């Protein structure tokens, strides 16, 4: 259940011109300007370590999903100004800052197929460069000149951090509820997606029903994406997806398939979960046993249905918006996120 750069792991298995690629083509001019702004603002004349660390991560081939959500939302709402570029750079900086801090917290060694910054430099640099990027994001937002946009992003930042702390304290806790899980994944993934789409609409002074529709879309898309990710970690769609499986199990993370299997556990299964999750005492065969228990209780299938339901909710939200090529691409993106479930 690590925070992913959304969709990066998918490209090899999918045909060219996946929805995020069509978005990137459609928004190419904007994206060039966003990338130029990102490069300009990650600079630091006096502390060259900052752009070194930032570039390592930001130029490693992320798909810029969050900036594209800002740009798509603002265009869907007929925005005419230039500040959507600032807002798009803002969400990418916040995302990058959270990745830097995540990798320190998770003691990760790899991210996007490259050694992490905490490994290449040190934890200190990751913590402090992350703080710098938060501050830079905040400056970019102030330039947008909208207190309501600032309100949305400050609330999202608090939700993100709260979700991360909650995840720390629910790890290895078999009493974790589905409500707590939802709060964790909202923080991990959905809060920045929904802030991106909502703030893009607010910047464009869109009517309230369009603002709400775009918030709901981002929220449901993010939740769907993270549930799929957590499902895949138990081997959901079989092999061949280029993803290591079993990481969440080994780290004792309480994700939806396990929460549902624990709710349905008999006494023997309960002892199993207590041993492998609470006490973290794992043997080689335990992951296969866990998979068998998940299958027995239908926890994998019900988790899959949950992800599909959130994807459908994202698409339903879009129906409140006027017809537009970007609306169709966002609709397809919600399909694309759950395509990994098949």
Binding site for a copy of itself (CB under 8 A): 44, 46-50, 98, 101, 104-105, 123-125, 127-129, 131-132, 134-136, 138-139, 141-142, 145, 147, 150-151, 154-155, 157-158, 160-162, 164-166, 168-169, 180, 183
What is the DSSP-derived secondary structure letter of residue 257? H
Between strands 110-111 and 114-115, the pairing is antiparallel
Query: 256 or 326, CB closer to a copy of itself?
Result: 256
C-beta closer to a copy of itself: residue 128 or 295 = 128
Assess contact for 112 and 100: CB atoms under 8 A: no
In angstroms, give the least distance from the CB of 189 to a copy of itself. 16
Who contacts 205 (Cβ-Cβ below 8 Å, separation ≥6)?
77
Cβ proximity to a copy of itself, 42 vs 330, nearer residue: 42
110 burial level (CB within 10 Å; 0-12, 13-18, 19+): exposed
Look up residue 47 and give its DSSP letter: -
The CA-based diameter of the chain, rounded to the nearest angstrom, is: 62
For 253-281, b/e burial (b = at least 16 CB within 10 A) is bbbbbbbbbbeebeeebeebbeebbeeee
CB of residue 21 to a copy of itself, shortest distance in Å: 32
d(CA 239, CA 45): 47
Q: Give me the residue label for tokens 């339903």.
A: 316
């Amino acid at each position: 259940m690590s925070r992913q750069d959304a969709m990066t792991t998918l490209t090899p298995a999918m045909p060219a011109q996946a929805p995020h690629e069509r978005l990137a083509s459609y928004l190419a001019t904007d994206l060039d300007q966003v990338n130029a702004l990102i490069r300009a603002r990650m600079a630091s004349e006096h502390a060259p370590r900052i752009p070194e660390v930032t570039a390592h991560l930001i130029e490693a081939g992320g798909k810029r999903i969050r900036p594209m959500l800002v740009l798509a939302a603002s265009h869907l709402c007929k925005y005419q100004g230039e500040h959507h570029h600032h807002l798009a750079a803002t969400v990418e900086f916040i995302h990058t800052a959270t990745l830097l801090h995540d990798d320190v917290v998770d003691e990760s060694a790899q991210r996007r197929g490259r050694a992490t910054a905490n490994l290449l430099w040190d934890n200190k640099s990751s913590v402090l460069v992350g703080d710098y990027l938060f501050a830079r994001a905040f400056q970019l937002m102030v330039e947008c000149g909208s207190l309501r946009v600032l309100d949305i992003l400050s609330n999202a930042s608090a939700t993100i951090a709260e979700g991360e702390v909650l995840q720390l304290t629910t790890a290895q806790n078999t009493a974790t509820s589905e409500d707590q899980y939802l709060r964790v994944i909202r923080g991990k993934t959905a809060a920045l997606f929904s802030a991106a789409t909502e703030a893009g609409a607010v910047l464009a002074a869109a009517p309230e029903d369009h603002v709400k529709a775009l918030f709901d879309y981002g929220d449901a898309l993010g939740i769907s994406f993270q549930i799929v990710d957590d499902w895949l970690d138990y081997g959901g769609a079989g092999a061949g997806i280029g993803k290591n499986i079993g990481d969440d199990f080994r780290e004792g993370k309480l994700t939806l398939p396990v929460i549902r299997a624990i709710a349905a556990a008999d006494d023997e299964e309960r002892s199993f979960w207590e041993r492998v999750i609470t006490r973290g005492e794992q043997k080689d065969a335990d992951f296969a046993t866990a998979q068998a228990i998940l299958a027995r209780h239908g926890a994998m299938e019900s988790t899959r249905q949950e992800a599909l339901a959130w994807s459908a909710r994202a698409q339903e939200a879009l129906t409140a918006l006027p017809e537009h090529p970007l609306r169709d691409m966002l609709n397809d993106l919600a399909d694309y996120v759950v395509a990994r479930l098949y």
